[in-house]
A and B are shown apart, each in its own frame.
Chain A
């Protein structure tokens, strides 16, 4: 029997999306459902008992969880704020240069991004080394006391934040540059005729028109930074004590060191809720209908 043309066309449409939808169902859709079920179980290495809301009750009473939450919030706030500000300033400066230099600087700032976080973190661990690391050698040559960058519980988290600050926010810079390119030049010409100063032009023309990109960069940065893991895992492993334990590091430890799958799922769902809430708030307060 020959399949009618209309049906074969429809069949091909489904065949085109089938591989993608299959992988999605097996590795994202189904696990998502399982994860919600797991959160209500006491599940150690696959031995499951239903425990209702126990995991969540334990979560809110857990001392380590509250430390991890605080560390992650502080880390995200510091890193995202400085990333967005630096990217904004850098993109504005880059925009004033000639085409050739624009692409040179964009590339220079993007290069550390294509290098894996593991590598960047290993280099910083080396530079933070108490006896032989570059940072302490510079301090000592200036006659200062060496600092225990990653071993001092009061400092360790800030040292990791410092390593983020010293790595340029390449992705955000490139996105801002692209957005600045799209601002119509006639707006600036009009402002010139009105005798507006350089800063005034930036503040009243550039910044408002950049708002959609700003929102996008802010949300993406927040979501990404909230899930920080590699940097912490490579530099300190979450220590000393719990000084640099972040939420994802904690989920990792709960699931794959203690094999407490149920509790880890509750932690992960909580992380999801926090991230979704922050993104929604950012959208609500910053979304705009500026068109140009």
Chain B
């Protein structure tokens, strides 16, 4: 009897809290799909009366939104591809191979995860400036390749793989590169999914660094571009929310399709116990 009361209370509480926390996303979509009069109406209505695409049409006319989408896609995909390939290679070496300096190098990578990003902002900016890369997409892509989280994740995962397959392949005369590409990489598929999704979402949503290194309107990523629209279209919230929903869509769709990867990624990257 009391158990059932407790359980019902838990359902109600969680349900209310979920509504609360999802409300901003709902309000974002409602505003984006409502005509201007409805957005500024008094009192506002919580459910959209008339659904319209007019905000989206205005947005596409007034901002280079397709260029921004392309820039965001190019940077996130390039960074993700790098990490999928080379974090796995490094993770494999750190997990399964013996070589002098292994522990020291790995310790360096782990220690660097404690350093806040802000410490390296200025030096990296100065270096990219010297090579004339400021305001180019490479200025976002290159430093993005230096994140060390993926190496750690892949090492954790590869450590759980049995070493026998590797040994057997070596006895059969498989080359060292072949062991990596034909044995290790295929076995890593589940972890690679986690790594790819996390890296893509993190870089798609990245804001501060692109804001620093990209200056011209046609070079912006989606996040930076949207933020500049705020000062341009002060209270035109229909248009702003239309832009915001375009930016939110890919990550939300990814999440809905690959929920399990997100959840296991968090716990794999976390601690044991």
Contact = CB atoms under 8 A, between A and B. Distances in A.
Interface of A: 8-10, 12-14, 16-17, 19-21, 23-24, 26-32, 34-35, 38, 46, 90, 93-94, 96-97, 101, 103, 105-112, 114-120, 122-127, 129, 132, 134, 137, 141, 166-168, 171, 174-175, 178, 182, 198, 212-213, 216, 223, 226-227, 229-230, 233-234, 248, 251-252, 255-256, 261, 264-265, 268-269, 271-272, 275-276, 279, 291-292
B44 A105 contact: no
A189 to B, nearest CB: 15
B67 to A, nearest CB: 17
Given A27-B143, A103-B259, A174-B266, A292 B273 contact: yes
Given A17-B94, A93-B13, A132-B237, A115 B20 contact: no
A112 B24 CA distance: 9
B126 interface: yes
21 contacts: A8-B176, A12-B97, A12-B177, A14-B99, A17-B89, A17-B90, A20-B89, A24-B108, A27-B124, A27-B142, A29-B108, A31-B119, A32-B112, A38-B122, A93-B10, A97-B10, A107-B255, A167-B24, A182-B273, A230-B207, A256-B125
Interface string B220-253: 0001001100100001010011001001100110
B43 interface: yes
A31 B267 contact: no
A178 B267 contact: yes
B247 A227 contact: no
B271 A97 contact: no
Contact of B119 (A97, A114, A223, A271): A271
B66 interface: no
Contacts of A223: 116
Contacts of B99: 10, 13-14
Given A12-B177, A213-B273, 13 more contacts: A19-B89, A35-B123, A108-B18, A110-B255, A112-B25, A114-B252, A117-B207, A127-B27, A132-B44, A166-B20, A166-B24, A175-B267, A230-B207
Nearest to A124: B24
Residue of A31, A141, A248 most packed against chain B (CB within 10 A): A31
A26 B138 CA distance: 14
A34 B125 CA distance: 11
A1 B52 CA distance: 73
B90 A119 contact: no
B71 interface: no
Residue of A20, A109, A112, A178 most packed against chain B (CB within 10 A): A20
Contact of B226 (A35, A119, A256): A119
B273 A127 contact: no
Interface stretch (B54-62, B144-152, B187-195): B144-152
Contact of A13 (B43, B93, B142, B259): B93
A36 to B, nearest CB: 9
Nearest to A30: B123
B10 A115 contact: no
Contacts of A111: 22, 25, 252, 255
Residue of A118, A125, A261 most packed against chain B (CB within 10 A): A118
Contacts of B227: 118, 122, 233-234
A158 to B, nearest CB: 18
B114 A255 contact: no
B123 A129 contact: no
The main secondary structure of chain B at its interface with chain A is helix
Interface of B: 6-7, 10-11, 13-14, 17-18, 20-25, 27-28, 31, 39-40, 42-44, 82, 86-87, 89-90, 92-94, 97-99, 102, 105, 108-109, 112, 114-127, 129, 142-143, 145-146, 148, 151, 176-177, 180, 201, 204-205, 207-208, 211-212, 223, 226-227, 230, 235, 237, 240-241, 244, 247-248, 251-252, 254-255, 259, 262-263, 266-267, 270-271, 273
Q: Give the 9 A-B residue pairs with the shortest CB-CB distance, closest first.
A: A116-B205, A31-B123, A27-B146, A34-B123, A16-B93, A168-B21, A12-B176, A31-B120, A13-B99
A126 B237 contact: yes
A255 B119 CA distance: 11
A32 B119 contact: yes
A229 B146 contact: no
Contacts of B20: 166, 168
B122 A118 contact: no
B90 A20 contact: yes
A141 B43 contact: yes
Residue of B24, B42, B177 most packed against chain A (CB within 10 A): B24
Contact of A118 (B42, B102, B212, B223): B223
A20 B86 contact: yes
Contact of B235 (A31, A103, A115, A129): A129
A258 to B, nearest CB: 12
Contacts of A101: 11
Contacts of A255: 121-122, 125
A105 B116 contact: no
A28 B115 contact: yes
B146 A24 contact: yes
B130 to A, nearest CB: 9
